[in-house]
Structure 1
Amino acid sequence: MELVYLWVEEYKNIKNQGFNFSPRFTCKYDKDKNELTIEEKKDYVSIFPDNINVTAIVGENGSGKSSLCEEILNIVSTKILVIRLNNTFYVHKKDDVTINVKYEKRNLKLFHIVYLHTDILKYDLIKNWTEYANLGTKGSNPFYTMLKDKSQSLLHLDKFRNKFYLLIFQYFGKFQQAPFVFQPKKVVLLFSSNNDSAHIKNKLIEFEQQEKLKDFDIEKYIEFLKKIEPLLGEHNDITNLYNAILNQSEIFFSLIKIGILEINFFDDKERDFFQLSQGERKAFIDSLILYNEISASKKNDMLILVDEPDLSLHPEWQRRYLFNLLTLVETFKSKKFHFIISSHSPFILSDIPKENVIFLEKGKQAYPNIETFGANIHTLLSHSFFMKDGLMGEFAKSKINEVIDYLNGKKSPITDDDEAQRYIRIIGEPIVKRQLQRMLDSKKLDKMKEIDALKNQIESLQNRLDNLEKKP
């Protein structure tokens, strides 16, 4: 299944815009005629595996990238949506919309959506129309599901102290590192602030009796319940319970044994998790959650939204991002994936053909004259769509402009040639440096010519003066 087209009536800064997500088909919606047309491109070439499609949403901050991702999640309220399964198109529309196209309504729950946020602790409303996994909020282990508060609205990082207590027991120690994924063991438990100790205890007992546990090592959970039960009776406050559990190393290491996420990869290199950079930790968590979601899902069609994965990543990791992402999912041959990646990184865009890219400017789709696939990073960066004011840092640019003003005889903080020469000497861009040096040399030459001319004039005047003085 593939997301082909989305018409957004009005959402944040996006109004009356249609977006094509398939490189193979072009959809157009005429609002005045209520007419939707679908055409297949004649020169379509697929560079990705048969079971994978990749769409990039590109634009600067405020262009509407995240808004478009959010609107995809709000498909129930979306006016028109086109999806393709095998060779059949299915059009989902709001009930108050009539369009002149043959369509067939389809149960969208066949589409498993995974949304990876830029902030691993940013939670959103869980949508009721499809399986929705927000980064860090869901695991395949029923232990997490049973303890999670029934409330659909989870937490934001800056407000969780007032609404939720987040208990995180984790142990990484040494683990294997691949370019993008690692081998950790961790347990994440989320409790609502409305839950008291008795309620948690009841949930644990209820959890113990679940049929879902048949696929898990029941002895580990029973061992955990026995050890945590005394603490549940002693502490009525979640924070105190959290601190008490952390102080009980035996219980802490029991939690470690109940690792809900574990992935084995091929690199033997060892590194400590807590010594990783912020970008490396983000890459690890993104990969881990994604792999776990794919493994746990029973759906064969997955729409995966990745919101600005390049943030916090080293340029080399950005350059390898898509390659590593495709490597991560290549073992899932029976599943079909549609990755939608929002970004403003030319490093990522260099791996994606122009036909697979949606360019956004201030909530509207743009059509820059630029070929992206296999393009040199510097070429992409130098394009006005990415860097409207060039590639140079603004501070350096201002200093160079001061040199130019001085050389052109305009008002400038630079007072003499020697100061201008010092600035020119440290400029790294060779063309700019060479041109400014020529301007300075020309200025010096003009000054020398003027000095010589003045000397000649002085000499001429002196000769005239001498001749006049010799006359009686």
Structure 2
Amino acid sequence: MSALSLSIERWRNIVEQTFDFSLQYRYRFDEGQQEINVELRDDAVPEQFFSGNTEVVCLTGKNGSGKSGVMGILNLTGTSLKIGQSVEGGTDASTYAFTYIFTRFDYLYVVKVTQGKVSGLWQTRDKFRADKIMRLSCEQIKSTPIVDTWYYASNNLQLSFSGNKNSRHDLSISHRRRNKSHAGHDEIFYCYQVMGHLDLRERMASRLFTWNVQRSWYQKFGNIDVKLPEDTSLHYKKKYVATLVALRLLWGIARSYEENDYFWRTVNKDNPDVRYLIPGNDSLLENISQISSEESAFKLLNEFSPLCHYFFSVEPYMLVKSLYYMQRSNFTRNGTVRYECSPDRQNDEPFHSILSVMVQIKENVSESRFTIEPPFSTGEWKLIDLYATLQRKAKESRARANNMQLLLDEPDSDLHPDLQRCLIKSMLDLLATHAKQRIQLIISSHNPIVISDLPSASVIAVDSSTDILGKTFGSNIHDLYKHRFFVERSVGAFASSKIREVLDSEEIDDEMLRFLIAETGEPVVVYALQNKLRTTKNMADQEIDQFLSRLTDQQRALLRGKLNEG
């Protein structure tokens, strides 16, 4: 795991707080002895509690308590830190001070910040084994290694990353997606990949994924335009157009050999001989300029046979056939072709291959656009984006490190309570498919449903005034609101004040009382209102005790608390 311990003297609005992110041990740095002291936690969580490869920690606290600030410190290790480096700008930066302990490849590192700058860096001399060593000697270093960490801010005002491009998840983007359902190739591709996930399959797998290609895309090869004959309508040229689309797709792959170094370095690494499968670009363009019929187009397509087989595992004829049967509607007046696919259809594999290739060669133009219909809601988009992000980052981390740290800021926002209830399990199930990775999920949340899936050691309150916070795992929402989110009342403020006003008033009329009795959902409060109606006086404490005496111990404790709130 990456984040192990963070001791803050001052950081933004956080003062004198220590956070332990390891679920088994507590880590403290002794600068005088240049040692890290490791102690077993009293509330240690078994290493296999969540899953074989993932642990979860959640930050809770009121708005403005500093949860995002803590995330910001943890995210610092995503870059190399050096002595004298400023960790943040701003007028208060010179007052910031903290000590952060993290791990990388079984070595521990210490970052000490004073007056807003990195003042000390240390590394353990030996590989760390917590079950054997409890005092770890350190030596000073000049810079830290880069940790495989990734920050995902899923709320509406922050940024999430899709491939190499940023997409702002604000209201305008939500509106665009709901009404046009258009997104970048990367977003659509990873969305399509996670569509088989258990949470998404039943709700969303019936959606149509579409690929709309305009005439200006499938008839244009560099500076060469292929003209369709004018003697027949496009309806009768369906196979011809499918051949041109296949040809344009394969030509795009060949052209990217010179323009997309990263893609081809990856391909060459897996298959060094793949470069011999690529036809020469100059001779291709000359042959393309000679296309005059479906037969001549298909003949040229056969020159791409090795490349087609490599990327699509089929011969060119089968690629054209797949495109032919994926076309579900007539051509538009301007020649746009619409190909449709759904994850629950049999033509799923060809579409997935095409989408995958388009993502890899980075050909993201408006003439070739992928969409999803019907559009997803904002909450659905966020769930898909979250799962796709986890899938992508876990896959990408394989080549870099065995350990990965994912910082998820309010991943449950905009989700229906039923999806929130399943969120932790769903993320664990998805990440369990990457068994070779060791993954640390550090999330923030205001949601008691999410917290009820986590043991107490996994829930960190960003609030220096809290003492004993009580248990969380499997707890009811009322207790979690009070002890983990510091909400003293779980009834709406208006309802609470209205009921209190009625109970305290000597002049309340019967109509108002009867309305509240009919509308109020809490039995103890209803009983108090009924007594008010009968006696026109406040309910006496002894009457409450008589009523509570007929309840079980569990009901008595819960309802007495509700009455105190009302």
Please give the range of the TM-score, normalised by the shorter of the 2 chains. Answer: 0.5 to 0.7
1:17 and 1:221 map into 2 onto residues whose CA distance is 63
RMSD of Structure 2 on Structure 1 (CA): 4.7
Q: Any conservation in 2 of the 1:25–1:41 contact (CA below 8 Å)? A: yes
Supply the distance in 2 between the matched residues of 1:328 and 1:36 (Cα, whole angstroms).
34
Post-superposition Cα deviations, 1:120-141, rounded to whole Å, max 9, x if no partner, equal 7843xxxxxxxxxxx3332xxx
Give how far 1:352 is off. Answer: 0.9
The one of 131, 136, 143 aligned to 2:161? 136
Query: Compared with structure 1, are the counterparts of its residues 221 and 397 closer, same or farther at alpha carbon in structure 2 (3 Å cutoff)?
Result: farther
Q: Identify which of 209, 212, 223 aligns with 2:266.
A: 212
Q: Does 1:405 align with 2:504?
A: yes
**Normalization by structure 1: what TM-score?**
0.64
Return the match for 1:279 from 364, 368, 379. Answer: 379
**Structure 1 residues 121 and 15, CA, compared in 2 at 3 Å: closer, same or farther?**
closer
Alignment counterpart, residue 437 of structure 1, candidates 508, 514, 530: 530
1:179 is matched with 199
Q: Is the 8 A contact 1:115 1:306 kept in 2?
A: yes
**Which TM-score applies when normalising by structure 2?**
0.54
Q: CA deviation at 1:344?
A: 1.4
Letter in 1 for 2:478: H
Q: Matched residues in 1 for 2:405 and 2:69: separation?
A: 17
Deviations 1:86-120 (A, max 9, x none): 87643334552489973256885463112221147
Q: Is the contact made by 1:25 and 1:38 (CA closer than 8 Å) also made in structure 2?
A: yes
Once residues 88 and 205 of structure 1 are traced to their aligned partners in structure 2, the CA distance between those partners, rounded to angstroms, is 41
- SS of alignment partner, residue 462 of structure 2: strand
Q: What does residue 63 of structure 1 align with?
A: 65
Equivalent in the alignment of 2:395: 295
8 Å Cα contact 1:27/1:37 also seen in 2: yes
Q: How far 1:301 sits from its partner (Å)?
A: 0.5
Offset of residue 339 of structure 1: 0.8
Structure 2 contact 156–169 (Cα < 8 Å) conserved: no
Distance 2:479 2:2 in 1: 31
1:8·1:17 contact (CA, 8 Å) conserved in 2? Answer: yes
- Alignment correspondent of 2:111: 92
Distance of 1:442 and 1:120 partners within structure 2: 51
1:374–1:316 Cα change, 3 Å = same
Structure 2: distance between partners of 1:355 and 1:314: 26
Note if contact 1:84-1:90 (Cα within 8 Å) is conserved in structure 2: yes
Distance in structure 1 (CA, Å) of the matches to 2:196 and 2:60? 33
CA distance in 2, matches of 1:442, 1:40: 60
Fraction of identical pairs, as percent: 26
* Counterpart pick for 2:152 among 106, 110, 116: 116
Gaps of 5+ in 1: 124-134, 139-144, 149-153, 188-196, 231-246, 262-271, 447-472
Contact 1:110 1:301 in 2 (8 A): no
Structure 1 CA distance, aligned partners of 2:192 and 2:106? 49
Equivalenced residues, count: 368
Does the 8 Å contact 2:148/2:404 carry over to 1? yes
8 A Cα contact 2:510 2:533, kept in partner: yes
After superposition, residues 211-290 of structure 1 pair within 5 angstroms as 211-214=265-268, 249=336, 256=355, 258-260=357-359, 274-290=374-390
- Return the letter of the residue paired with 1:405: D
Unaligned regions of 5+ residues in structure 2, if any?
Answer: 82-86, 88-96, 123-134, 174-181, 212-221, 224-254, 290-333, 341-350, 361-371, 540-566
How far has the Cα of 1:389 moved from its partner?
Answer: 4.0
Instruction: Give, in whole Å, the separation in 1 of the partners of 2:516 and 2:488.
Output: 21
Query: What is the rounded CA distance, in whole Å, between the counterparts of 2:471 and 2:50 in structure 1?
Result: 17
The aligned amino acid for 1:433 is V
